[in-house]
Amino acid sequence: MGINMTTDKVVIITGASRGIGAATAKLFAQNGYAVCINFMTSDIAAEQLKNEILQYTAKCITVKADVAKSSEVQRLFDIVDKELGCLSVLVNNVGILKAQCRFDEIDEQRFGQVLNTNVMSCFLCSKQAVKRMSNKYGGVGGAIVNVSSAAAKTGSPYEYVDYAASKGAIDSLTKGLAMEVAAEGIRVNAVRPGLIHTDIHASGGEPNRIDRLKTKIPMQRGGEPTEVAETIYWLASEKSSFVTGSLVDIAGGL
Ligand code: NAD
């Protein structure tokens, strides 16, 4: 891929210091975007990624912010306005899951935290993005890509029904928002990855979860973060100019 050092397009990727978010940040940088890497805890990983990305693009910033909190989301978007300029693309990538268990073992605090992190972050960031992108508010349009999950379809029984429910909410939010802003220059879509090789599975208590489950995947393997990033990039690009409100499965046939 050629290196494009013009940075007229701006992307924010939430939770981008590792995994699918990091792969997505690299791909946008390789395509000439100015990139904002949002992260919450991993200062060192975020700085390392920024240094790597600066090989491909002239502009990259890291912003530490908990995107489940509205004041921090406001600060994140204000920094991007000031340092990178007009927002073109938002990728709502943040997502957490907790230890695998039965539904009736999930306590109220955990349920609240998973819903708040996964759904509220998408709601708060999308709201800020719409205010900047919509031609109703003087913006020039843009694209929002939400990272949902195949769990929205399966419900994740005996693992994390709370996580699955949060991804179901992302799907509904994607559909409704897409229709509201379709005539205002903004496209809103979601990807629904299946089993992808990242560190998220360790949070569920089973780092090798994909090894256990891969024979159930028609393609007989887990996916790579770069394979998800390619679809996110396509949904954000003009190549998908008539696609909105779509939920794209990236799951090896699941
Ligand atoms: P990951 O754990 O590597 O990435 C998630 C990132 O979000 C982490 O860096 C984490 O620190 C960050 N984060 C969490 N809460 C945050 C907050 N409040 N503010 C800012 N950052 C926060 O996992 P991943 O697999 O790369 O996941 C990325 C997305 O893909 C998630 O939404 C996940 O649900 C989704 N997904 C992953 C898979 C998979 O198999 N890996 C499958 C389907 C969907």
Cα 183 to ligand 1 centre (Å): 31
Distance from C-alpha of 136 to C-alpha of 220, rounded to nearest angstrom: 47
Structure confidence by residue, pLDDT tens digits, 58-69: 999 999 999 999
156-196 confidence digits (pLDDT tens): 999 999 999 999 999 999 999 999 999 999 999 999 999 99
Question: 163 an active-site residue?
Answer: yes
- Share of residues in the chain with pLDDT > 70 (%): 97
Mean pLDDT value across residues 43-60: 96
CA of 95 to the centre of ligand 1 (A): 4
* Cβ partners under 8 Å of residue 197, min gap 6: 210, 222, 223, 224, 225
- Look at 129 and 1; give whichever has higher pLDDT: 129
The whole-number pLDDT of residue 7 equals 61
Specify whether the CB–CB gap between 164 and 156 falls below 8 A: yes
**What's the fold here for domain 9-250?**
Rossmann fold (3.40.50)
| Radius of gyration over every alpha carbon of the chain, rounded to an integer in angstroms | 17
Mean pLDDT (the chain) is: 96
For ligand 1, atom 22: residue with the closest CA: 15
Pocket of ligand 1 (CB under 6 A): 14-15, 17-21, 38-41, 66-68, 93-96, 117, 121, 147, 149, 193, 195-196, 198-200
Query: Domain map of the chain by residue range?
Result: 9-250
Length of the chain counted residue by residue: 254
Name the catalytic one among 33, 56, 163, 233. Answer: 163
CA distance between the termini of the chain: 30
What is the reported pLDDT for 8? 84
In sequence order, the β-bridge partners of residue 49 are none
What's the angle, vertex CA 19, arms to CA 227 and CA 230, rounded to 5? 25
